[in-house]
Each structure stands twice: as structure tokens, then as C-alpha cells.
A and B are shown apart, each in its own frame.
Chain A
Amino acid sequence: MRKFLVTCALVLFAALAANPAAADPVEDILTGFASSKYDDIEKSIDALAASGDAAAPAILDALSAGDLQVSSDKKLYIKGDDGSLKEARSGADATGEIPPGLKAVKVNNRVRRAIDAAMGQLTLLSPDPAKRLSAAASQFHAPDPAQLPAVESAIAKESDPAVKRAFEQARAAIILVKSDAPDADKIAAIGLLAARGDEDAKSLLDAATASGSPAVADAARGALKGIERSLAWWSAAQNVYYGLSLGSVLLLAAIGLAITFGVMGVINMAHGEMVMLGAYTTYVVQQAVMVAAPGLTDYALVLAVPAAFLVSGAAGIAIERSIIRFLYGRPLETLLATFGLSLVLQQAMRSIFGPTNLQVDNPSWMSGSMDLGGLAITYNRFWIILFAVAIFALLTLVLRKTALGLQMRAVTQNRRMAASMGIRTGWVDSLTFGLGSGVAGIAGVALSQIDNVSPNLGQSYIIDSFMVVVFGGVGNLWGTLVGAMSLGVANKLLEPVAGAVLGKIVVLVLLVLFIQRRPRGLFPVKGRAVES
């Protein structure tokens, strides 16, 4: 009896060992590829994908590349680029002689489509969460009712909450396009999509409003309204973000102007060229770092900030000493002389660096963006906002807490009295002009990150900077801050309504009208000044 049992077991074992394919469903599926009918091949592809076998992606890849070979005993091999053969299932090198009757598995367009769908399904089960996420997203964007079981089984297996949510949304999208899904399921799916609330969800819901069932269509319409409202808010918020970023650029460009104008009553038309000098300094520093220490290229920008401040500041002091000093008390003549200077500086840069735009690279920590709800926060603009705020704070500190700041404020308020108290007003003028120009140079560093570095760089910002200063009120940094931010935000909020150019015109006209009402700006300096 015992002997019989052992024999039976042995026979059974031998049978299993002799024909392992019979026990392994995947091997069964693979034999389907030996068929010469496209129908069979397609079925095998679907079955292979459903099995989720580890070797499946490699096999499907080889199939679509035409490298999958089948021998006359229905064994599959993958041909490598160098002509070597590997067993398809195990990936091991094929030993011994070349299997007889080896030929490539046939592929046509229908088979290729089946491969693509199968690959999508396979990535749903991929061990890499990022791959699963992107598979879920591709299902969401192009929902295919045939994939519903695959997605559902993926949901059941999923443990990562973020990926699971993405799968559920993909499932909702599929249910919504699946014509025979029950209404209750569809309404639940609409709820899920409404919670997602972005443009993609909107277009799916848009399609669902045409649904035959009134309950579903109503639910879709309701959800759509909610999404539109929240999208409108997000897009307004996005515009405010763009506005703040434009405003901080304007702030950087205008703040130096505000200082020189406020303290000295001098409009420096070459201020835009100080910005331009800063941008060109950034370019030169970046090139130099690239040559001297290629590993530090990402930090060239940090080095460029003090360099630009020094270059533009020195240029500013030189201008003050050589030209503006002789024109005090004649603001209109100063305006003309500095305009001439701006022409000279532009042409000088054109002669040295050429008239074309120069490429200043964004360092890696400034490229890309992050999503905050429905907001896309681009890093370069985000850094510029932070940078502008930091510079503003620093300047406020300089003006409030240093001896130079005290003297500058004294000269602003009453030049003659300050001179009588022993302040060297000429010296204060020079340093003020240097400081204002240096800050303009720093603005150039920031601008080089979002705009073209060309000889005309300063020109495109100078009129807006004037507007900021005039709007905010002279001699008042807070006025400049409020002026810059409100101009930036107003510009960007008007843009979608009126178009970029018309929006800008509207802002300019409003400003001109505003100046009529308040000729000294938002925050005029109070004092006994009678008239200019």
C-alpha cells in the first residue's frame, strides 16, 4: 500500500516535471503567439497583460519591435540586437543549437494597438508608484471602458493613498464614458470628478451633460457649475500671482529710481540702462564662472548680485560726479542729459556684446514649477518675489538704521537745513545716486532670469518704473511698494479681460487720470515745499 502511494506520487511528480507548461498558465498563453492568426496573437497579448507576469513587458516590447521569435516547438525567444537569442520567459541565454523553424511573430497595426493597451494595463500593476500614477493619469485622460476591470483590480491591490486616489479618478472617468454603467455609479463618479475640479474633470463633465439619463446630466451640470466657479477663483489667483511677480520686477526697477528722485529731485532717464548693466554683468559673471569653475555654475547668480550692484553703483556715482552734479536745480535739463547718456550706454553695449539677445541660463534651483492647488508656481518668479521683498526690507533698514540713511532722509526733507547741520549734501547725493543705481543693477540680475538680455532691456521697463514712482509718491519706499504691486496686479488682472496691450493702455490712462487727482502720488511727502 505504502509502496503504491510512493509510486503514485513519483508518477505524478514525473508527469508534472515532464510537462510543466500544463501547470503554468503563462506558458499556455505564450504558446498562443505561435499562431499565424492575428486574432490569436491579439488574444494572447490581452491574456498576457491580464496575468501581470514579470516577463510580460519585455515580451511585449520585443513583439512591437519585431524581435520576438517563435520556434516550431512553440517556444518563444527574444532576439537581441547582436543576434543573440534569449528565452522569452526566463530571460536566460538560449543554449545549444539554434531551435529549428525559428521565425518572427507577425505584427500588424491592430496587434500594435493591442500591445499599447496592454502596456498601459501592465503599468497599472507596475511595482514603481510613479509609473502607476502616470498609468492612472493616462487612463483618466483617455478613458477606455475595456480597461475597467484592470483598473478595478489595480484599485483593490493599491496601498499608496495618492496612487489609489488617481486610480479611483481614472475609474470614475471610465464609468462616465461607459454607456451601460448604472446611473448611481455615474453620479458617484461625477461627485469624485467634481472634487478633483480641474480643466480635465471639466471636459469629462461637459461630455456627461449630454448623457441620456436626466439625473446624470443634472448632476454633471451642477458639478460643472461648482468647478467653473472654483476654476475662476484659481485663475484669478494665478493672475494675482503673475501680477505680484510683475510687481516685484517693477519694484526692483523702480525702487532705485524712487531713491534718486526722492532725495535729489532728479529723474534719471538712464536708470533703465543701469538695470541693463546689471543684466550684462550677470551674463559676464555666468560666463566667467562657467570657464573658471564649471561645477559652481548654479551659484553664479549669487555671485552676480554683488557684482551687478558694484558695477551699476560705480557707474551711477560716475554719472553723478561727471554730469548730474552740474545740473542741480534744473531737473528738466538733467532729464535730457541722462536720456542722452542712456542712448550712449545702449549703443556701447550693442557695440561690445552685439545687438542680439544674450542667453543667461536659469540655475537648476530656479527652473521648474510646483502646483499649489490650482496654482502653478514657477520657481524663477517665486524667487524673484522673495528677492524683491528682501531687497526692499534691506533698503528700508539702510534708510532707517544707518547714518547714511539718516542723512539721506534729512537731505530729502530739507536740503538747506541739512547742509547747515553739517551734512555734506554733495557727498550724500553721490552715495544716494550710487545706491539707487546699484539697486537697479540688482534688478538687472533678476530680470536676466525672466527676460531677454539685450541693449533695449532697460527701455522696456523704464516707463513703467516712472509710473510706479509717480503713482506711489516720491521719497517714500512704501509708496513704491504699493505702487509697484498694484500696477503689476492691475495689469495682469486686466489682461484676460481686455487683452495684454489694451490692458496696459487702460492702466496708463488710469494713471494719467490719477495724477490729475493727486499730483504728488499716493503717499505724498508732507512738508513745507511750496512748488517745484
Chain B
Amino acid sequence: MSAMRTYSVAVVILGGALAVALLSLLPAEHALHVPGYVVALLGKYLCYALLALSVDLVWGYVGILSLGHGAFFAIGGYAMGMYLMRQIGARGVYGNATLPDFMVFLNWQELPWYWGGFNHFGFALLVMALAPGLLAFVFGYLAFRSRVTGVYLSIITQALTYALMLAFFRNDMGFGGNNGLTDFKDFLGFSLQSDATRAGLLVASAALLSLFYVVCRMLVGARFGKVLVAIRDAESRARFLGYRVERYKVAVFVFSAVMAGLAGALYVPQVGIINPGEFAPANSIEAVIWVAVGGRGTLVGAIIGAILVNLGKTIFTGALPELWLFALGGLFILVTLFLPKGVVGLWDRIMARRVPAPPLVAAPVRQPEAGE
């Protein structure tokens, strides 16, 4: 993909978000005014898009199907949530200046040590990026060094996020248990209730998404990216050619986790809550389907897929809530069966109509070997 097209995608995202943000600041009676909830919704979609981008980087380019990326997203979100909790200060229900409400409720006397420093945004920002990165490093180092691949890897990533979900549900973990962290007041001194803050968060999400899109594009276009694709398509061959496969995998897995963590961090102030439900394995799998719908291994497809599916979810759950799971499930099946390259692949095929279309159902590429 040309640099031209790369930057135009970034410009479209950023420009669109800026336009919406500005329109939302118009007076409410203006014809072009965008209501606040739409701004928050769009901001949420962009955070999901960033999560999808991080999944696409590891799945589309290295073939690591992570069913636990929601864990990195949620950890980043919790780091942001802890910062926002500290910002509440004495305005909580119990009026305790240092302890968040749920700790007062649980009769805790002092802040646990791991909550220290979260009143500084710089420290919180560091944790939002480093905590998911560190987890991804430890997990990835262990898994990739032992050459855990394929469905085995998928299942243990799923176990990872499941275990984290159970852990965060516990009250004595000090993260608010079942209810999670909520009732946030302001972010960097700006009230989270104001339209201007919402608009600012939307633009920030768009900027971060564009930035990471461009970085990912450069990454996969470089020699590094070629090695990643080589690992995806023939891991043993890449290894025999002398590439330290596990190092590449760990590096890209960590980078992807940081992206997911930052996406989660920006997600939390826009939806106003983070709870252990974000760790649910189903959420991680849903992120994978956004990528599949948009088009695996295309980066831009991940963004399109995330926005399309979530738009569909918003519309469906509003109009026909009981049909949503049918639609989502059907989407999983139809996309994997008939659209292996997703919406982007379909688009490319329509654009190049003169080239005879490949059969709808992909012929079996290769029969699975024993022990797979």
C-alpha cells in the first residue's frame, strides 16, 4: 500500500473526528449540532478500532490468534480508572480524600501500595502502557520460547484473560471487585460531563488511532514486517533461515499489547466505567471477529470492521435486542465461510472485477497433519 493511501486513512480518521468534535460544540438548537452521546459513542468505536488494530497486527501478520487481547485492553483501562478514581478526591460519597469509595465501604484503612503514584497522570500513563506490555512480555516469552502455537496458544490466551477476570472479581484485589471503578468526575482537570471534554477525548482517540495506524503500516512495510509474514506463513522455514522467530513474536506481541492497553485507557473516561466484565473471554473473541469482518492482515480492515460491527451492535441492540446475538453469530460464520478476506477483500475484488473471482468457498489448502 502506498504511503499516500496510508496517510489518507489517517487523515480521514482524524479529520472526521475533528469535524464531529467541532459540530458537537455548536449550540444545541443548531441544525448541525451533534449530541454528546454520539460523540462518546464514536470515541468508544475508535478505541475498539485501536484494539482491533492491535489484534490484526498479531493475527493478520504473525498468525498469533490471541483470544486474550481484551485482557490488555482491560488492564490499560484499569490503570486509567485508578487515575480517575484518585482524581475524585474528597468528592466521593464518603468524602474520604485518599481512599476511593469502595475501599471505605470495605473498611480499608489505607491505600494499597500498588495504588501509590496514580494521582500523577504521568505515572498512570506509564502504567497504562507498561503493565499490559509487561504481562505480554512475560506471557509471550514463556509461550513463544516453548513454541506454543496455533489453537494451543489461542486457548491459553483465553485462559489468561479468564483467570484475570476471576481475579478482578475478587474484592480483596483492591480494584473494586464486581462493580469495578466508576463515578469518575474529571480527567486532567476537565469535567467528564462537559461536551468539550468529550470532544477532546474523541479527537485524542482519533489521533492515537491514526498514529498507531501509521506506525503499524510502517512496521509491516519494513523488513521487520516481511519477517513477520514469513513467520506466519512458514514458521519453521523462517527459523531454519536463521531468524530468531520467538524474538520477533515477543516484540510484536508486546507492541500490540501496549496498543491494546492504551486503547483501553482512552475507552474508560469515555464510557465512565471499567469492571471485570471487560476481561470476559467473549469480549476478546468479539475483537477478533471485528478484524475478520474488516479483513485480516490489512490493518485498515481492522478499523473498518470494528466500526461496522459496533455500529451494527448499537443499532441492533436498540431495535431488536434478541436478534443481536443471532446477527453476531451469523456474521462469524458467514465471514469465515464466504469472506476470508473480509470487507476489504470484497472491496478489492469488486474493484478488480475483470480478474476472474476466486471461488467463494476456499478449497482446502492442506489437510491437517497428525498431532495438530
Contacts and interface: CB of A to CB of B under 8 A. Distances in A.
Interface of A: 261, 264-265, 267, 323, 326-337, 339-348, 350-351, 412-416, 425, 463, 466-467, 470, 474-475, 501-502, 504-505, 508-509, 511-513, 515-517, 519-520, 524-525, 527-532
Nearest to A337: B336
Contacts of B162: 463, 508
28 contacts: A264-B368, A267-B154, A329-B365, A329-B366, A329-B368, A330-B365, A331-B372, A332-B63, A337-B337, A339-B332, A340-B331, A340-B332, A341-B329, A344-B330, A347-B329, A350-B322, A502-B170, A504-B166, A511-B159, A512-B156, A512-B160, A513-B142, A515-B146, A519-B147, A529-B372, A531-B149, A532-B151, A532-B369
Contact of B370 (A323, A339, A415): A415
Interface in B294-325: 322, 325
A326 B330 CA distance: 16
A323 B371 contact: no
A346 B324 CA distance: 12
Given A516-B143, A532-B150, A341 B361 contact: no
A347 B325 contact: yes
A508 B159 contact: yes
B368 A331 contact: yes
Contacts of B167: 501-502, 505
Interface in B328-349: 328-333, 335-337, 340
B326 interface: yes
A473 to B, nearest CB: 10
B356 to A, nearest CB: 20
B267 to A, nearest CB: 23
Nearest to B167: A505
A319 to B, nearest CB: 10
A470 B155 contact: yes
Can you list the 8 inter-chain pairs with the closest CB atoms, starting with the nearest? Answer: A340-B332, A529-B371, A343-B329, A344-B329, A347-B325, A265-B372, A265-B368, A508-B163
B367 interface: yes
Nearest to B323: A347
B65 interface: yes
A332 B154 contact: yes
B289 A520 contact: no
Contacts of B65: 332, 335
Nearest to B141: A516
A335 B142 CA distance: 23
B336 to A, nearest CB: 4
Contact of A414 (B139, B292, B370): B370
Contacts of A329: 364-368
B35 to A, nearest CB: 31
Interface size range of chain B in the complex: 35 or more
Contacts of A509: 163
Interface of B: 59, 63, 65, 139, 142-143, 145-152, 154-156, 158-160, 162-163, 166-167, 169-170, 235-236, 281, 285, 288-289, 292, 322, 325-326, 328-333, 335-337, 340, 361-362, 364-372
B370 A333 contact: no
B149 A532 contact: yes
A310 B366 CA distance: 32
B254 to A, nearest CB: 17
B334 to A, nearest CB: 8
Nearest to A351: B322
A284 B115 CA distance: 52
Given A470-B152, A505-B167, A343 B368 contact: no
A330 B151 CA distance: 10
A344 B330 CA distance: 7
